[in-house]
Amino acid sequence: MPGRSLRYGLITLAILAVLSFYLPQGPSQSAQAASDADYSSMRLLTEVMEQIQKRYVEKKTPNELLTEAVKGMVSSLDPHSDYMTPEEYKELQIETKGTFSGVGIVITSKDGILTVVSPIEGTPAYKAGVEAGDRIMKIDGKLTKGMTLMDAVKSIRGPKGSKVVLTILREGANNLQDITVVRDMIPIESVRVYLLEDGYGLIRLANFQENTTDELIKGLTELQNQKVPLKGLIIDLRTNPGGLLTEAVNVADQFLDSGLIVSTKGRTRDQEMVFKATPHMTANNYPIIVLVNQGSASASEILAGALQDHHRAMILGTQTFGKGSVQTILPLEDKGALKLTTARYYTPSGRSIQAKGITPDLVVPFKPPAPSTKAAKKSQDLREKDLQGAIPAEEEKAPAKAEKAEPAKPDDSTQTKPEQTQGKAKTDKLHYPQDRLDNDNQMLRALDLLKAWQIFSAREQINQGKVAGAAK
């Protein structure tokens, strides 16, 4: 596994690589013809640039025109490919450290309109009421139609304490709505741990960043060291937009002791990678339920797919986003970088995630506490397949058998409002707020399933004992 390889989901997920060129020893006749065609196309580009410089109403420098031309070329490929200027590339590198100044939303482009994939829990945007599916029509009064994602990110970000006004259009609403958000540092807490009840734990994974695995191991160990042994675990991946591929693999490795976790396939051999579990697990052998929704994307889909294919967890919730493509970051000579879609992700059984997502074992729609928002919540689902220019899903193939399948075990995860305090060593602080649990039908359903699992497991052991006794 490459030590520095990174995978970013949605806007900020990718792997770090080096751009290289292959030059053939001698051009063939067909290669020469292709070169002539390429030269003709380049002449068209320079001719257009010359006319703009001479006749356009405002002065434009060659560098400005070339940058926009490259951005347009790359962004036309799919929603996740992009050219990053040196400044934008620096911002991307800062984000992977888990801290930046902004409002805390993951955005994409749908039909040329900026759309919120998910607000990051605990951030200013989340607290201000920004929701998944919101269309950002204006940023500080400036129309966003046709605005690139990188330009939108730069407009939304700013110094801590400053304000930005997002004008959004929410499905089901007749009017535009202005949401004022006060920017702040976004130290994204990747992992939070709780006790729902004695013996039943909850791990909330908000995203996958550099320290996610270490935090998960620490939190999981704390849950397993309680006086009452852990009988079941819920992993909440709802509204988790993804993150680093290596962290998703390492997290899955804490629950699997062998077998394939994820593979990637692209046009070139170097994009074909296989990630397998190691024999050393952190988790004990208890049932797990993973909660997902339409905001679960990329790395979170990799984790859910791996646990589902190995029958290590039950997936509960709604269909995930379906972001199953790999973006490779290719550093360029101008100190900028090219973020290019180079491969697809595949689950252990050979399923492609792209434009399909992960289908829950048990579909349980989230029911908002306020009935008046129910219709709006239902209509705001946004997934990879809805994005303009998205890579289509592959034809369905007979799934390959996973390398190892363990007995099916229920699992759960939950979607909740952002936690304000993280679980610490003291048991009282580990307990999940009862009012939040009562307002989360998906988590309640998962908890009930875990309890039922314990009841049926106990009865099975009793029945097996009776059969063994009768045999004697």
Confidence of residue 153 (pLDDT cuts 50, 70, 90): confident
Does the residue 28 lie in any domain? no
For 212-221, the pLDDT digits (tens) are 999 999 999 9
Same domain, 306 and 419: yes
User: Percentage of residues in the chain with pLDDT exceeding 90?
Assistant: 56
Same domain, 306 and 434: yes
**Would you say residue 404 has pLDDT above 60?**
no
Q: Residues 323, 339, 377, 409: which is the catalytic one? A: 323
Confidence of residue 93 (pLDDT cuts 50, 70, 90): confident
The rounded mean pLDDT for the chain is: 82
Same domain, 294 and 430: yes
Nearest to residue 17, comparing CAs of 245, 213, 209?
245
Confidence of residue 467 (pLDDT cuts 50, 70, 90): low
Distance CA 180, CA 202 (A): 33
Tell me whether residue 451 is one of the annotated catalytic residues. Answer: no
Of 138, 156, 185, at which residue does a domain stop? 185
- Would you say 213 and 1 are in contact if contact means Cβ atoms under 8 Å apart? no
Same domain, 266 and 155: no
Same domain, 164 and 256: no
Strands (E) located in 371-465: none
Confidence of residue 149 (pLDDT cuts 50, 70, 90): confident
Distance CA 396, CA 350 (A): 10
Q: What is the pTM of this model?
A: 0.74
**Would you say residue 203 has pLDDT above 80?**
yes
For 236-262, the pLDDT digits (tens) are 999 898 988 999 999 999 999 999 999
Domain that holds residue 128: 100-185
Same domain, 210 and 178: no
First to last CA, the chain: 52
**Would you say residue 154 has pLDDT above 80?**
yes
Q: What is the pLDDT of residue 97?
A: 61
User: Percentage of residues in the chain with pLDDT exceeding 70?
Assistant: 78
Q: What is the pLDDT of residue 58?
A: 95
**Between residues 386 and 340, which one has the greater pLDDT?**
340
The whole-number average pLDDT for the span 333-339 is: 95
Q: Residues 309, 411, 412, 440: which is the catalytic one? A: 309
Distance CA 128, CA 149 (A): 21
Of 185, 205, 239, at which residue does a domain stop? 185
**Would you say residue 151 has pLDDT above 80?**
yes
Does the residue 33 lie in any domain? no
Chain centroid offset of residue 351 CA:
17
Does the residue 51 lie in any domain? no
Q: Residues 81, 118, 298, 300: which is the catalytic one? A: 298
Nearest to residue 249, comparing CAs of 276, 289, 226?
276
Q: What is the pLDDT of residue 394?
A: 79
The whole-number average pLDDT for the span 343-353 is: 97
Tokens encoding 303 = 């984790």
Of 131, 161, 185, at which residue does a domain stop? 185
Tell me whether residue 448 is one of the annotated catalytic residues. Answer: no
Does the residue 57 lie in any domain? no
Same domain, 138 and 200: no
For 405-463, the pLDDT digits (tens) are 333 333 333 333 333 333 333 446 799 999 889 999 999 999 999 999 988 887 777 77
**Between residues 287 and 111, which one has the greater pLDDT?**
287
Same domain, 224 and 177: no
Tell me whether residue 377 is one of the annotated catalytic residues. Answer: no
Number of domains in the chain: 2
Task: Point out the least confidently predicted range of 2-16, 81-95, 368-382, 387-401.
Answer: 2-16
**Would you say residue 19 has pLDDT above 70?**
no
The whole-number average pLDDT for the span 330-348 is: 95
Using alpha carbons only, give the angle 438, 439, 441 rounded to the nearest 5 degrees.
90
Q: What is the pLDDT of residue 417?
A: 34
Q: The CATH number of the domain where 217 resides is what?
A: 3.90.226.10
Same domain, 142 and 208: no
